[in-house]
Amino acid sequence: DGDGFFEKNKKTGKYRLGALFFELGIVYAYHSPLRQIIRPHVEQIANESGVTASWGILRKNRVIIMDRIQKLPLDTLSYRIGLNLPTYTTAAGKILMSYLPEEEQNRILESVNLRKITDATVADPDKIKENLKLYRERGYSTDEEETQEGVIAIAVPITNNEGQVIASISLMDEKSRTNPEKLFRKVDYLKKKALFISRQFGFRDY
């Protein structure tokens, strides 16, 4: 395809994430001032939940994964540290984008080349925006094999003292090890952890 962010399999016609995703964001990830506060909590979350945990931020129109605590038997491409991921397919990107003003959501969707990375990817902008409203209302988002086949994820927001969403925390697992319903049962646990972290940044929910 030539843009460096995606590579097309000529035989199947499907896309996968390309090399440029690795080249951008890795330096930023390792020098973020947020890491000192958030990383220890993400480590605890991964250990307690038994699945891979990560956290990321929105930068321009991409998600940068800042840390990932690996609990999967395989090293999956999705949610690798420093990786610039699409906002519209990943759980992290969806929850971060869902809290943006509508005009900012439109700007991001217009600035990226929406395409189906897997058969499950939602690439229609109207459907994406409809889903973003749902994610904000319920306070979590999902990735059901939309970024990588066989990988599912959930994500919740982290909020600062001004009530702004500054990051997201995700749990990810292989579909062969679990199922969406089992992973989704960890949402309340993840929300509580995210609220605790948000309070470290001065967020008050009362």
Residue 2, pLDDT > 70, answer: no
Residue 6, pLDDT > 90, answer: no
- Predicted TM-score (pTM) of this structure: 0.81
Angle between helices 125-138 and 91-98 (to 10 degrees): 80
pLDDT tens figures, 31-64: 567 888 899 999 999 999 989 999 999 988 888 8
Q: How many helices (H) and strands (E) does the chain have?
A: 8, 8
* Distance, CA of 139 to CA of 47 (rounded, Å): 23
Instruction: Point out which residues pair with 58 in neighbouring strands.
Output: 63
Which whole number is the average pLDDT over 128-156? Answer: 95
| 3-class state of residue 142 by DSSP | strand
| 3-class state of residue 125 by DSSP | helix
Q: What angle do CA 41, 145, 77 make, to 5 degrees?
A: 60
Higher pLDDT, 29 or 98: 98
Which whole number is the average pLDDT over 188-204? Answer: 94
Residue 5 pLDDT class (50, 70, 90 cuts):
very low
Per-residue pLDDT, 70:
80
Per-residue pLDDT, 179:
81
Per-residue pLDDT, 68:
86
By percentage, how much of the chain surpasses pLDDT 90? Answer: 53
Residue 191, pLDDT > 80, answer: yes
Which whole number is the average pLDDT over 168-194? Answer: 91
Per-residue pLDDT, 47:
93
* Distance, CA of 102 to CA of 93 (rounded, Å): 15
Per-residue pLDDT, 17:
46
Residue 105 pLDDT class (50, 70, 90 cuts):
very high
Higher pLDDT, 128 or 176: 128
* Distance, CA of 160 to CA of 119 (rounded, Å): 36
* Distance, CA of 104 to CA of 57 (rounded, Å): 15
Residue 143 pLDDT class (50, 70, 90 cuts):
very high
Q: Is the dihedral of CA 155, 67, 44, 201 positive or negative?
A: negative
Which whole number is the average pLDDT over 135-147? Answer: 96
Q: What angle do CA 175, 178, 181 make, to 5 degrees?
A: 100
CA distances from 156 to 1, 16, 90, 176, 192 (A): 32, 25, 12, 23, 10
Which whole number is the average pLDDT over 132-153? Answer: 94
Per-residue pLDDT, 138:
97
| Closest C-alpha among 187, 197, 195, 100 to residue 138 | 187
Q: What angle do CA 94, 79, 67 make, to 5 degrees?
A: 105
* Mean pLDDT for all residues in the chain: 83
* Distance, CA of 62 to CA of 93 (rounded, Å): 7
10 Å CB burial of residue 168 (0-12, 13-18, 19+) is: buried
Per-residue pLDDT, 38:
92
